[in-house]
Amino acid sequence: MPKDFLKDAADAYDVVVIGSGLGGLTAANILARDGMSVLLLEQHYKLGGMATWFKRPGGHIFDISLHGFPYGMVKSCRRYWTPEIADSIVQLHGVRFDNPMFSLTTTFNRSDFTKLLITDFGIEQGTVEQFFDTVRNMNFYDDQSLTTRELFDQFFPGREDVVRLLMEPITYANGSTLEDPALTYGIVFSNFMSKGVYVFQGGTDKLIKSMEKEMRANGVDIRINCDVQKINISQGKIASVQVNGRTIRTKAVVSNANLRATIFNLIDKQHFDKQFVDEAEAVRLNNSSTQVYMALHPDDSIPRDTGDLLFCSTADRFQTDLLLSRDITSRTFSFYYPDTRPEGKGRTLIVSSTNANYEDWIGMDKVDYEASKQDLIDSTLDSLEKYVPNCRERITHVEAATPITFEHYTKHINGASFGTKFEGLAVSRALPQQIPGMYHAGSCGIIMSGWLGTINYGVIVANDVINHLSSTTSTSRAITT
């Protein structure tokens, strides 16, 4: 008999959350804390979505998306999670750039960038201050037609080196390009510039386990291996979800699944009006990623001044399309020293990340796919050699992930690492107007992606659900089974 992952689950809940990425987890926690009965359904055998990790023999634990986030995570985690989670967030001090235009190390905050731009790049102080003030004051209601390229042209015309310094990390952080609206750049860049780059000490496994513990304490009914097939609508409102052969009633659904998958795979089209469907169809997915995971021999180590995050490139010029190319010239290396997991086995690990196009990886037969992964590994080791000499001999475990891997584990269409492009946000926000009680909280619109973006979006949507359910009749929140 296959295991019943819904054993003892109730027949009805106030809210069903589909997906346990950081957006889904945060929404579920806030809703349960507010006294609602919440069922969290995750199709994978593990919680966390893209915020995940995996173990390999030899005591190695690799993090997938723990490369860096802005300081805002401390406040969000303290308010919406626990003080212990917030207190484990620590700053990365060594952010390095190495490319044919410049090599430097920075703490990646406004004061250090101001100094660098003035002394190393020769920009007038007034221009630098004006640029920082402009991007810091950007908000969602601003002009959305100005592109990031136009923004840079206003302040630093002809200065590709400056654009590279300012843009390259953000392209890695949220997949945005020079052609995207400037505010998608401005909001994220300013978040980082406020205090630098932070990570969670103890690793993603510790974070997700702490979150699970907190959710259980707040009463969330958490179920893994539960792949939601359909969201049922009755009389224009949310009625139930179909999962593992059961129909579970609910008044509200928060989908943390990919926005397009939510709209086109989980809900029948007839429930949306035509204009909404057209707008949803026009939403572009963000890019995907490749990664190479490398473990040094347990007795080996690398000097701390190798850095924590290294944006390296051999491309003469900075072009966002080059960052996506199969012919990789730019990589971000994350160096994980033993203090990443102070209670761990003291391993030194390296993860190389590149943005990637799904189309470059799909449709290969198994032999070609494996050969392409091996190419990715080989070229990554070639590139790492400059920063970790003799790395081929020193690395005892290496493997690669591709857009197909990310798609497989999270069901994100095309393995999108950061959800959708900017237009996805308006569609995500419009969902409850189409179907009362139906919400989406997960990576979309560039600014609502990354660890901080999705956590904050989970908060916003949880509050929408609370308002929605309390505006319906007072008895309706407690559905009897």
Residues that bind ligand FAD (CB under 6 A): 18-24, 41-44, 49-51, 64-65, 67-69, 227-228, 256-257, 289, 291, 353, 406, 410-412, 417-419, 442-443, 449-451, 454
Count other Cβ atoms within 10 Å, centred on residue 384: 22
In whole angstroms, the minimum distance from the beta carbon of 120 to ligand FAD comes to 26
Chain position whose Cβ is nearest to ligand FAD? 21
In whole angstroms, the minimum distance from the beta carbon of 113 to ligand FAD comes to 19
Query: Strand pairing of 60-63 and 53-56?
Result: antiparallel
User: Are 411 and 257 contacting, i.e. CB atoms less than 8 angstroms apart?
Assistant: yes
Residue 374 structure tokens:
């091996």
Q: Measure the CA–CA gap between 470 and 476, rounded to whole angstroms.
A: 8
Q: Measure the CA–CA gap between 336 and 294, rounded to whole angstroms.
A: 10
> Which amino acid belongs to residue 148?
T
Q: Give the residue with the Cβ less far from ligand FAD, 67 or 110.
A: 67
- Quote the strand ranges of 402-479, DSSP E: 438-440
In whole angstroms, the minimum distance from the beta carbon of 266 to ligand FAD comes to 6
- Only one residue has tokens 């926000």, namely 429
In whole angstroms, the minimum distance from the beta carbon of 41 to ligand FAD comes to 5
Q: Give the residue with the Cβ less far from ligand FAD, 93 or 411.
A: 411
Terminal Cα-to-Cα distance of the chain (whole angstroms) = 26
Is the torsion defined by CA of 418, 424, 425, 428 positive or negative? negative
Residue 14 structure tokens:
């106030």
In whole angstroms, the minimum distance from the beta carbon of 143 to ligand FAD comes to 26
Question: Which residues pair with residue 199 across a beta bridge?
Answer: 90
In whole angstroms, the minimum distance from the beta carbon of 88 to ligand FAD comes to 15
Q: Give the residue with the Cβ less far from ligand FAD, 12 or 173.
A: 173
Q: Give the residue with the Cβ less far from ligand FAD, 266 or 384.
A: 266
User: Are 59 and 336 contacting, i.e. CB atoms less than 8 angstroms apart?
Assistant: no
Q: Give the residue with the Cβ less far from ligand FAD, 162 or 413.
A: 413
In whole angstroms, the minimum distance from the beta carbon of 63 to ligand FAD comes to 9
Q: How many Cα atoms occupy the beta-carbon half-sphere of 87 within 13 Å?
A: 4
In whole angstroms, the minimum distance from the beta carbon of 480 to ligand FAD comes to 25
Q: Is 175 helix (H, G, I), strand (E, B) or coil?
A: coil
In whole angstroms, the minimum distance from the beta carbon of 319 to ligand FAD comes to 21
In whole angstroms, the minimum distance from the beta carbon of 147 to ligand FAD comes to 22
Question: Which residues pair with residue 221 across a beta bridge?
Answer: 39
Q: Measure the CA–CA gap between 94 and 106, rounded to whole angstroms.
A: 6
Those residues with Cβ within 8 angstroms of residue 280's Cβ, 6 or more apart along the chain or in another chain: 259, 260, 263, 264, 272, 427
Q: What angle do CA 212, 440, 22 make, to 5 degrees?
A: 30
Q: Give the residue with the Cβ less far from ligand FAD, 156 or 293.
A: 293
Calculate the CA 128 to chain-centre distance.
Answer: 29
Q: Give the residue with the Cβ less far from ligand FAD, 64 or 296.
A: 64
User: Are 169 and 108 contacting, i.e. CB atoms less than 8 angstroms apart?
Assistant: yes
Q: Give the residue with the Cβ less far from ligand FAD, 380 or 443.
A: 443
In whole angstroms, the minimum distance from the beta carbon of 416 to ligand FAD comes to 8
Phi, psi (degrees; rounded to nearest 5) at 235: 50, 45
Q: Give the residue with the Cβ less far from ligand FAD, 131 or 453.
A: 453
Q: Give the residue with the Cβ less far from ligand FAD, 27 or 384.
A: 27
Q: Give the residue with the Cβ less far from ligand FAD, 165 or 170.
A: 170
Q: What is the dihedral of CA 66, 261, 227, 478, to 10 degrees?
A: 100
